[in-house]
């Protein structure tokens, strides 16, 4: 294959990488001095306010996928593709009221796994943990890969080195600071991301002659402007339910719900959704008109960086580099922390060593963070397939958990059998449809199957659940 010269000088790329890497680790160490207790390490003392809460939720949801996949969506599916990616914000909007419900029901809860175990029992819990772990690893790997690809595309930093540096920095400051470090750095990263995207979007608008660009797309890529494009329409719902499933089930969001002050938790998630929504639209918009800018997209995975690099020149490439690095950091640290919490609390403390002290548990959490970092690095080293394939394979799994979570929080009559069948059947059918029809229907079908199972089981169930069982304190 071809390749254009890198837009950013590799030395500048390395310099930025080292400067920001050291800054995040130092900040993580500074904020992490409060993380001496288990609650401090895992849940930032359960006292996070609205500004930090909204910032961390928004920053966590702005991943490298937002900046890399949103352009892909737009380039493949046009207008609807661009909007399809932004429907992932629905997950944050819908989780907003749920988060206050979670805090009411489980004031001393730690993980989403806690909820599923108490609500539905051990079998559902194991299935849920499997789904969550597979998805978390898929997300981690996709971001590790994306980081390596972007740094290589922008600054010529070899894929292995770029990917390794990003993972190393994130593991380090998550290790030293826990959720305090994660949320603190997320706040700064969210500001950088918002300002950076604003800059890139503004430059793009000044550089693109919209009528000409529209005419070019209409002539050479007419399907991209087709509002009835089937794949695009289906991906709208598919991505929406994938996003809802990601947020509803994953401990990244539940840990934030537990970490925030009860009075602000709902507003924080809603605000985060508002701030996040325009970002994939801006990223996709730029890619949609790449042809009119004379940019040849050689590899769909590199659409975003290629367009931004060409459009913005060296300074703009620096801005993009920093934005991508921040978006990677804000998501990888959250995933490391939340997945470590889940494995520590649900697997280590509940299954392996129930009598473990808080200090012992905290230590185990740090080992798990390191283990997750190493595992992610090993998988990223192999650099498997297309980014969309890596991540969307987990779509049917997480979508199958939407209705069990919703029903578990709000329906007294919802029983465990229904939840188990919903997750298993939804996942299996969704995966089957992924291979037989396409990725653009898998999450949607999984959600539908899961919904039917849950509605039926709720209708036929006669027993009711005692909500107070969720609110019990640990001994």
Nearer to another protein, 23 or 300 (CB): 300
Nearer to another protein, 382 or 473 (CB): 473
Asked if 300 interacts with another protein (CB under 8 A), we say yes
Angle, CA 397 vertex, CA 193 and CA 137 arms, to 5°: 50
Count of residues that interact with another protein, criterion CB under 8 A = 76
Residue 158: CB atoms within 10 Å: 12
Nearer to another protein, 86 or 174 (CB): 86
The binder of another protein chosen from 47, 51, 215, 222 (CB under 8 A): 222
For residue 73, the minimal CB distance to another protein (Å) is 11
Inter-residue contact 471 to 105 (CB < 8 Å) = yes
For residue 327, the minimal CB distance to another protein (Å) is 23
Asked if 438 interacts with another protein (CB under 8 A), we say yes
Rounded-to-integer distance, Cα 102 and Cα 231, Å: 36
Within 190-219, the residues that bind another protein by CB under 8 A are: 217, 219
The binder of another protein chosen from 209, 215, 358, 469 (CB under 8 A): 469
For residue 246, the minimal CB distance to another protein (Å) is 15
Nearer to another protein, 158 or 412 (CB): 412
The binder of another protein chosen from 140, 169, 193, 240 (CB under 8 A): 240
Nearer to another protein, 54 or 406 (CB): 406
Rounded-to-integer distance, Cα 2 and Cα 287, Å: 20
Asked if 315 interacts with another protein (CB under 8 A), we say no
From 121-129, 198-206, 307-315, 318-326, span contacting another protein (CB under 8 A): 121-129
Q: Which of 173, 187, 175 is nearest to 25 (CA)?
A: 173
3-state secondary structure of 191: helix
Within 59-118, the residues that bind another protein by CB under 8 A are: 75-78, 94, 97-98, 100-101, 104-105, 114, 117-118
For residue 339, the minimal CB distance to another protein (Å) is 21
The binder of another protein chosen from 191, 378, 437, 456 (CB under 8 A): 437
Asked if 122 interacts with another protein (CB under 8 A), we say yes
Rounded-to-integer distance, Cα 141 and Cα 437, Å: 25
Write the DSSP assignment of 72-94 as a string of letters: HHHHHHHHHHHHHHHTTHHHHHH
For residue 320, the minimal CB distance to another protein (Å) is 20
From 30-38, 51-59, 120-128, 140-148, span contacting another protein (CB under 8 A): 120-128
Q: Which of 139, 329, 199, 336 is nearest to 255 (CA)?
A: 336
Rounded-to-integer distance, Cα 323 and Cα 327, Å: 6
Q: Which of 386, 374, 440 is nearest to 140 (CA)?
A: 374
The binder of another protein chosen from 7, 54, 62, 229 (CB under 8 A): 229
Write the DSSP assignment of 112-141 as a string of letters: HHHHHHHHH-HHHHHHHHHHHHHHHHHHHH
Nearer to another protein, 163 or 470 (CB): 470
Q: Which of 247, 446, 220, 406 is nearest to 338 (CA)?
A: 247
3-state secondary structure of 260: strand
For residue 96, the minimal CB distance to another protein (Å) is 9
Angle, CA 16 vertex, CA 11 and CA 18 arms, to 5°: 95
The binder of another protein chosen from 42, 92, 424, 441 (CB under 8 A): 441
Within 383-412, the residues that bind another protein by CB under 8 A are: 402-403, 406-407, 409-412
User: What are the Cα distances from residue 344, in Å, to 11, 73, 270?
Assistant: 40, 36, 29
How many CA atoms lie less than 13 Å away from 381 in the CB half-sphere?
7
Per residue, what are the HEC states of 314-349?
HHHHHHHHHHHHHHHHHHHHHHHHHHHHHHHHHHHH
The binder of another protein chosen from 24, 41, 241, 325 (CB under 8 A): 241
For residue 91, the minimal CB distance to another protein (Å) is 11
Nearer to another protein, 219 or 462 (CB): 219
């Amino acid at each position: 294959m071809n390749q254009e010269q890198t837009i950013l000088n590799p030395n500048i790329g390395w310099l930025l990488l080292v400067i920001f890497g050291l800054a995040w680790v130092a900040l993580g160490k500074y904020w992490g001095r409060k993380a001496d207790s288990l609650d401090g390490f895992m849940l930032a003392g359960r006292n996070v306010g609205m500004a930090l809460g909204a910032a961390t939720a928004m920053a966590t949801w702005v991943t490298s996928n937002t900046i890399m996949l949103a352009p892909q969506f737009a380039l493949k599916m046009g207008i609807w593709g661009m909007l399809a990616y932004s429907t992932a914000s629905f997950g944050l909007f819908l989780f907003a009221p749920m988060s206050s419900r979670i805090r009411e029901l489980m004031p001393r809860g730690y993980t989403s796994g806690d909820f599923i175990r108490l609500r539905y029992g051990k079998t559902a819990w194991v299935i849920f943990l499997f789904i969550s772990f597979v998805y978390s690893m898929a997300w981690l790997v996709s971001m590790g890969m994306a980081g390596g690809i972007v740094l290589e595309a922008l600054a010529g930093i070899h894929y292995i080195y770029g990917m390794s540096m990003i993972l190393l920095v994130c593991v380090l400051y998550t290790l030293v600071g826990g959720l305090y470090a994660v949320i603190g750095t997320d706040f700064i990263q969210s500001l950088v991301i918002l300002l950076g995207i604003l800059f890139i979007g503004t430059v793009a608008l000044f550089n693109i002659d919209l009528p000409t660009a529209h005419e070019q797309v209409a002539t050479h890529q007419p399907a991209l402007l087709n509002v009835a494009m089937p794949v695009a329409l289906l991906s709208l719902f598919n991505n929406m339910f994938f996003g809802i499933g990601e947020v509803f089930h994953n401990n990244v969001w539940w840990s934030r719900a537990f970490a925030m002050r009860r009075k602000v938790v709902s507003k924080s998630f809603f605000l985060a959704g508002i701030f996040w929504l325009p970002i994939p639209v801006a990223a996709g918009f730029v890619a949609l008109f790449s042809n009119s800018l004379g940019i040849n997209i050689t590899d769909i995975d590199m659409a975003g960086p290629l367009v931004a690099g060409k459009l913005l020149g060296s300074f703009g490439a620096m801005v993009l580099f920093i934005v991508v690095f921040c978006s990677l950091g804000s998501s990888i640290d959250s995933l490391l922390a939340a997945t470590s919490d889940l494995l520590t609390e649900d697997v280590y403390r509940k299954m392996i060593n129930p009598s473990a002290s808080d200090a012992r548990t905290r230590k185990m959490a740090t080992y798990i963070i390191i283990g997750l970092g190493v595992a992610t690095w090993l998988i990223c080293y192999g650099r498997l397939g297309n980014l969309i394939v890596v991540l969307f394979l987990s779509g049917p799994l997480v979508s199958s958990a939407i209705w069990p979570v919703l029903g578990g929080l709000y329906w007294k009559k919802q029983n465990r059998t229904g939840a188990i069948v919903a997750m298993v059947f939804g996942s299996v059918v969704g995966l089957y449809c992924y291979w037989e029809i396409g990725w653009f229907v898998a999450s949607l079908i999984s959600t539908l199957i899961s919904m039917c199972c849950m509605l039926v089981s709720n209708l036929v169930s006669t027993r009711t659940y005692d909500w107070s069982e969720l609110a019990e304190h640990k001994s």
